[in-house]
Chains A and B, each alone.
Chain A
Amino acid sequence: MNENVKKCPIIANHIKVALVGQPNVGKSMLINSVSNAHLHVGNFSGVTVDKTEVLFDYKHYHFTVVDLPGTYAFTDYTIEERVTRDYLCAEDYDIIINVVDSTNLEKNLQLTAELFTMSKKMVIALNMSDEAEKEGIEINAEYMSELLNIPCVKVSAAQKTGIEELINTVVEVHEKPKPEPKLVFSEPVEEEIENIVSYLQKHKFQATNSYRNIAINLLKENKRTYAKLHDDPIWTELQPILIEASKHIELHHDTDDIKEAFAEEYASFNRGIVAEVVKVKKPLREEKTLTEKIDSVLIHPLYGIPIFLFLMWGLFQLTFVLGAVPMDWIDAFFGWFGDAVGATITNDDMRSLVVDGLIAGVGAVILFTPNIIILFIGIALLESTGYMSRVAFLLDGFFHKFGLHGQSFIPLVTGFGCSIPAYMSARILKNDRDRLLTLFIISFMSCGARLPVYVLFAGAFFSESIAGNVLFAIYITGAMLGLIAAKVLKLTAFKGADEPFVMEMPKYRLPSVKLIWHTVLSKTLMYLKKAGTFIAGATVLIWFLSNYPHNTELEKNYEVKIEQAHSQEEKNKLANELASKNLEQSYLGRIGAFSEPLFRPLGLDWKMAVALEAGLAAKEVVVSTLGVLYALGDDVSETTYSLKDAISKNISFASAVAFIVIIMVYLPCFAASVVFTREAGGIKYFFYLLAFTSITAYVLAFLAYHITLLLGY
């Protein structure tokens, strides 16, 4: 036992750090730069919406760093802010690193001042020191440490400067007893604090926090401190003292809101600190900052929205045009690869499994990697430049008409990448009604996994020059349908008053290539990994279901017929016939035939129906299923097969439109449904979503099919 204790310094040297700060100050990026984590970083408020722990070793210490959602103040405003507050108040950790934005110290210190009364050890990280330098802002960190009696360290998460000093400081503070931070209030408040402290002293009140902090928390009407003291015998005497104190302070601040009074107290304390420690070298000219200059173009009342639409259009154009080049190579590669591998396999069934199943199915999904990469780059740019909040600003008025909150834009845009993080990011919406409403329409924003289906169909039915426009139109239509759905839901299920819209607009930042690279790379790898695992598995399953059971009698019949055929043409025709007959009597064919009546009014044949059903698992499976089904059933004569050609040959335009409409509207995927259920807060919401999206998809597809037919296509 004893030896064990000696050998195990893990427990002895473990430091658990909570990273706290206002939104968008670089908390997540700071963790990335001290460890080799790749937490999501973006230039808008509300990137991190859940707590994440990162572990790393430094010297002989084991660190656990907890990344928390940014919070402006301890007000429980949104769910993500509640996550932070609950963590800080209820969890066990050793030390707080309060990350602040050096270029906006005064505002950031509002939260710092609130943290002072938490009775935890603390270090202040003056982040963005590189930006501060550029803007000519100089902070005297030593003097600031002295004034606050809290160590302050200049760091830059982006340039990785000061990181080591920061960690050393954390270790130092951890080893020493907790210093009492200096926070000075105005005279009336100090008087009242003194009053309460001496009362607590007189009664020898037992507490872990200092009397001063308890007094401040009581005056601020902190719920937890109230609850703690409420059951104590001294409460009956304390309460009148508190009431008097509040009156005194409120009178001094000429308000009836004690929180407002304290905010003003903090603000004037912070002003004092900033005046002492911050020197602005370049005198602030009256000239506009770069951000303001860019804003005067990008959020121009007239051109703002057209510019945004143009950028979106450009993105989809690029997705198609630029993506087409490597796609041809990938397509050719898989064609060649399938033939090459096929030639080495003698067993017919095995060859079919590998060539028609795995290679055709997985290849069909991997084929679209270039498109996905371009889409991800677009989203990463939107997130990291600061443009995201601008678009939320531009669209708020428009969104408002449909009963949505401007900030819904952020989860909705995230939804173009993948629905799962989008559901999570809806937490930035304060009001539960707004949040639920947003959750319900996120699936209308076509996720990255649906892009392959669109690219496939757009490529199959339109010439290359306009396919990009078609893609853009599909996305816009999807988004518009989402807005209309929002309006319907707002008028029926989620009636209620509108929530205020108050949002920070970050400054524009040039994203680093490295950051974009990492974001896009990790998402792309995830896509490929999914193609290689989940999709491959699903594809094999589909292949199996579409090949078995074998009908030997049917095969024999045809073999005889083919023998007797006169021309090669006739032989091919018979072989094709056999293939499609075989497919029809397979397990999958039977499933398809069973559900076909449901899909026939939409103009969909059983293969498309099966692809849609398989797509409930994941949208990539739609493409891989089509890949398998059309690889098996048709054109055995064709040497290099192309799914695109198979589709344009076998599917009518009207049916294709109906198919795309369903893809646009129905449930995203199994994994997303699980996250949706968790975020919405109950399985019943999942059934609502299922019913809502399925019915909408069906009705719209029906209309789309018949209208397209009427138009004569």
Chain B
Amino acid sequence: MKRLIDCEKGEKVKVVKLNANYDLKQRLISFGVMKDAQIQVLEHAPRKKTIEVKVGKMRIALRAEEAELIEVK
């Protein structure tokens, strides 16, 4: 099982599943992070604490804790 946090910078992946709780899941979905969405990892903050990803045309920032909950392939 691969998680978004495990992705390298520049890597493009597809969302398989969101393991987040209800609220966070709704939030991610409203940002376009849902099943089958394409995600590209753009930047890592120091020590991968926070990452910047691109979903569609939108760039979003996520913490490592959140990125761990997103299953990708």
Contacts and interface: CB of A to CB of B under 8 A. Distances in A.
Interface of A: 72-73, 75, 77, 103-104, 106-107, 110, 255, 257, 259-260, 263-264, 267, 291-292, 295-296, 299-302, 304-305, 389, 392-394, 396-397, 400, 406, 430, 498, 500-505, 507
Contacts of B32: 106-107, 110, 267
Nearest to B22: A257
Nearest to A498: B65
A406 B65 CA distance: 13
Contacts of B35: 255, 260, 264
Given A72-B31, A502-B28, A104 B57 contact: yes
Contacts of B30: 72-73, 75, 77, 110, 263
Contact of A505 (B29, B36, B60): B60
Nearest to B36: A264
B25 A257 contact: yes
Contacts of A392: 61
A296 B50 contact: no
Contacts of B18: 260
Given A299-B45, A396-B45, A259 B66 contact: no
Interface of B: 18, 20, 22-32, 34-36, 42-47, 49-50, 52, 56-63, 65-66
A505 B27 contact: no
Contacts of A259: 26, 29
B34 A263 contact: yes
B24 A500 contact: yes
A72 B34 CA distance: 14
Nearest to A255: B35
Given A110-B32, A264-B35, A304 B57 contact: no
B62 to A, nearest CB: 6
Given A263-B29, A299-B45, A406 B50 contact: yes
A295 B34 contact: no
Given A263-B34, A397-B49, A75 B61 contact: no
Nearest to B69: A500
Given A301-B44, A393-B45, A500 B26 contact: no
B57 A103 contact: yes
A72 B52 CA distance: 18
B14 to A, nearest CB: 14
B57 A73 contact: no
Contacts of A257: 22, 25
A291 B59 contact: yes
Nearest to A74: B30
A304 B45 contact: yes
Contacts of A301: 43-47
A392 B63 CA distance: 12
B31 A502 contact: yes
B63 A396 contact: yes
A505 B59 contact: yes
12 contacts: A73-B29, A73-B30, A77-B27, A104-B56, A104-B57, A110-B32, A267-B34, A301-B45, A305-B46, A396-B45, A396-B63, A502-B24
B5 to A, nearest CB: 13
Contact of B56 (A75, A106, A394, A500): A106
A154 B59 CA distance: 24
B53 to A, nearest CB: 10
Given A107-B57, A501-B50, A505-B60, 15 more contacts: A72-B30, A73-B26, A107-B32, A259-B29, A260-B18, A260-B29, A267-B34, A299-B43, A301-B47, A393-B50, A397-B45, A397-B47, A406-B63, A500-B66, A502-B31
B28 to A, nearest CB: 7
Contacts of A107: 31-32, 56-58
Main secondary structure of the interface of A (DSSP, over half): helix
A502 B29 contact: no
A271 to B, nearest CB: 10
A110 B27 CA distance: 13
A110 B58 CA distance: 13
A365 B42 CA distance: 47
Contacts of A393: 45, 50, 52, 61
B3 to A, nearest CB: 15
Contacts of A498: 65
B29 A397 contact: no
B43 A295 contact: yes
Contacts of A75: 26-27, 30
A501 B56 contact: no
Given A73-B26, A259-B29, A500-B27, A396 B61 contact: yes
B26 A503 contact: no
A296 B52 CA distance: 11
Contacts of A305: 46
A394 B45 contact: yes
A297 B67 CA distance: 23
A107 B56 CA distance: 8
A255 B47 CA distance: 34
A104 B58 CA distance: 8
A286 B29 CA distance: 26
Nearest to A75: B26
Contacts of B23: 77, 430
Nearest to A396: B50
Given A103-B57, A301-B46, A400 B26 contact: no
Nearest to B32: A107
A505 B57 contact: no
Nearest to B23: A77
A619 to B, nearest CB: 34
Contacts of A292: 42
Nearest to A114: B30
A73 B22 CA distance: 14
B20 to A, nearest CB: 8
A75 B32 CA distance: 14
Contacts of B60: 502-505
A129 B34 CA distance: 28
B11 to A, nearest CB: 14
A400 B56 contact: no
B21 to A, nearest CB: 9
B38 to A, nearest CB: 12
B43 A504 contact: no
Given A397-B45, A406-B50, A500 B63 contact: yes
A498 B49 CA distance: 14
Contacts of A397: 45-47, 49-50
Contacts of A389: 61
Contact of A501 (B22, B31, B58, B66): B66
A502 B47 contact: no
A504 B58 contact: yes
A-B complex: 5 closest residue pairs judged by Cβ atoms: A397-B49, A73-B30, A72-B30, A505-B59, A501-B63
Nearest to A405: B63
Contacts of B56: 104, 106-107
A307 to B, nearest CB: 13
